[in-house]
Amino acid sequence: MLKISLRGLLFSIFCASSSFVYAAEEGIASYYSDVFQGKKTASGSVYDRNKLTGAHKKIPFGTKVKITDLKNNKSVIVTITDRGPYSKKRIVDLSYAAAKEIDLIKAGISKVKLEIIE
């Protein structure tokens, strides 16, 4: 019984601390192709290019994240609703609306800072 409790405690500590690993992250952002419009995301919601949403490999669904383009310092707050991106070099995929807010559309990709805010 003590082993189970200790394992549970260690698991809880690991889970609590792992969320802090992603509290701030820098890397490359891209945005969703229009072919995903109207399709289900990993969270079960339907992708809408006009909403401020994003995809991340590990951040929990529903988390609010501030994305700042490091080239122009423009920011947008998105809700994580999907998993991805599937390119190893990228840390976040943004909806069209979110990408437009930070002037990402023309370039297609940019270096960003991701900060969990809620």
- Given a cut of 60, whether residue 116 has pLDDT beyond it is yes
Spans of all domains in the chain: 23-116
- Given a cut of 50, whether residue 67 has pLDDT beyond it is yes
The CATH code of the domain at 23-116 is: 2.40.40.10
d(CA 108, CA 103): 9
Widest CA span of the chain, in angstroms? 58
Dig out the tokens for 11 from the structure: 């698991």
Nearest of 87, 75, 82, 93 to residue 29 by alpha carbon: 93
Q: What is the DSSP letter of 89?
A: T
Give pLDDT, residue 22.
55
Residues in Cβ contact with 105 at an 8 Å cutoff, skipping those fewer than 6 apart: 31, 96, 99
- Given a cut of 70, whether residue 46 has pLDDT beyond it is yes
